[in-house]
Structure 1
Amino acid sequence: MSVAEEQITKLFKTRRTVMQMLRDRGYSVDDSDINMTRQQFVDKFGENVYLKRDDLLIRSSKGDAPTDQIYVFFPADQKVGVPMVRNCAKQMKNDNVFNAILVVQKVLTAPAKQAVAEMNSSFFHMEVFEEAELLCNITEHMFVPEHTVLKDEEKKDLLKKFRVKETQLPRILVSDPVAKYYGMKRGQVVRITRQSATADTYETYRYAV
């Protein structure tokens, strides 16, 4: 397999995981995007898509809140710096899209990381994933139990039921791969459903920090 073919395969797998991730977060995603084959991917985006990653731009909205939208950017630059982060931020602001995922080929430069941090201190929020993190869907791994991020009302009911404060729950880091997949933010609670040795299921909860 040539280098170009390997790059196309990586992008195909990365995009598929992104689509699954968006759907798992509640965004509207067509089945055709989830089930797309590698050949269909090439037919749609071309043999040179590995050089023109910008063509993979995704914009999606949540089914229950059409105004809640997200962009997914695939910068063509191997090393993403401040100008690219600012260009993405500008597009988000112009289109009133407050959330974004930046899929980069390599780790961001230090100034670019700072630019993302500054952006995230405002009304806009940008997450950064490296392509290598998205080559497979971590939630489909046999050793990863089912995770469900609770809505605010569900979290409130949970704390009331067990008469605990959120900070008394076991913790999960927002940098944890599964928490990152679901886009968890500090303060959110996730329900983890595991299979017991008796084939029954049991639930535990984690507080994102």
Structure 2
Amino acid sequence: MVFSEEEITHLYRIYKTVLQMLRDRNYVISETEVNMTRQEFTSTFGDHMKREDLVISRSYKNNPDDKIFVFFVNDAKIGVKTIRDIIQRMLTENVFRGILICQSPLSHHGRAAVSEMASKCRLEVFLEDELLVNITMHYLVPPHQVLTDAEKKALLNKYTVKETQLPRILMTDPIAKYYGLRRGQVVRIIRPSETAGRYVTYRYVV
């Protein structure tokens, strides 16, 4: 199968957003990769590229053993077998976090297959259309910073509050999905302020 110029541009934009997303999650991504041009993308993967060729494997900056896979699938509709094969590959290679990029939403059985393995590995699911642009680069989206466990503890002690008393952000929120936030984490949001220069708020992930 040969992709049209429009389809190659479509995949290039998605691939670039995924690299930016991994970088923002503190995985090892070089500036050269993030700044890859469309021509370099085509030169790397060829005119006859398949989505499976775009698979990405990266290590976490602070822990080389903590890895993540990103899978692209050719099939417009992904079956349960494909999901199980992907999860089996992750487990075989001792990778316990993955991202699946789909052309269309998973079926009920597909979502169930992902949930069944949640105790062994975490597979996040994104639609291609969700990654055509990097939402964190929109001028209306303020910077978000994920707190470490130590930073979260210090914040709660400083204000003598329980985590559940903080304002909330849903795991399904586009920003929470972008950063791969999990329940119980806290994110710092920095907004501009005309009086103070900046205004900092926090959100608890539910």
TM > 0.5:
yes
| 1:136 aligned counterpart, secondary structure | coil
- State the match for 2:181 in structure 1: 184
SS of structure 2 residue aligned to 1:7: helix
- How many residue pairs were aligned? 205
Which whole-Å CA distance do the structure 1 matches of 2:192 and 2:185 have between them? 23
Q: Give the drift of 1:189.
A: 0.3
What TM-score do the two structures reach when normalised by structure 1?
0.96
For residues 22-53 of structure 1, give each alpha carbon's deviation from its aligned partner in whole angstroms, at most 9, with x where no partner exists: 0100100021210000011001101122xx10
**Cross-structure match for 2:198:** 201
Task: State the secondary structure of the residue aligned to 1:100.
Answer: strand
Gaps of 5+ in 1: none
Partner Cα distance (2:170, 2:79) in 1: 26
Aligned to 2:112: 114
Which residue in 2 is equivalent to 1:78?
A: 76
Secondary structure at 1:21 match in 2: helix
Any residues of structure 2 matched to 1:101-180 within 5 Å, and which? 101-120=99-118, 122-180=119-177
Q: Identical aligned pairs, as a percentage?
A: 53
> What SS does the aligned partner of 1:61 have?
strand
Distance 1:81 1:158 in 2: 44
The answer to whether 1:61 aligns with 2:59 is yes
1:21 alignment counterpart:
21
Distance across 2 between alignment mates of 1:156 and 1:113: 34
Q: Equivalences for 1:34-53 in 2 at 5 Å? A: 34-49=34-49, 52-53=50-51
Code of the residue aligned with 2:47 in structure 1: it is E
SS of 1:107 mapped into structure 2: coil
Q: String of CA shifts for 1:56-103, please: whole Å, max 9, x gaps.
A: 010000111001100000011110110110010010011000000000
CA deviation profile, 1:129-160 (whole Å, cap 9, x unmatched): 00000001000000000000101010000000
Partner of 1:32: 32
Specify which of 91, 98, 101 is matched with residue 100 of structure 1: 98
2:8 paired residue number: 8
Q: State the shift of 1:197 in Å.
A: 2.3
**Counterpart-to-counterpart distance in 1, 2:117 and 2:70:** 16
The residue type paired with residue 142 of structure 1 is Y
Amino acid at match of 1:161: K
CA distance in 1, matches of 2:85, 2:6: 28
Specify the SS of the correspondent of 2:113: helix
Structure 1 runs (4+) deviating above 6 angstroms are none
Give how far 1:199 is off.
Answer: 6.4
Q: Which runs of 5+ in 2 are unaligned?
A: none
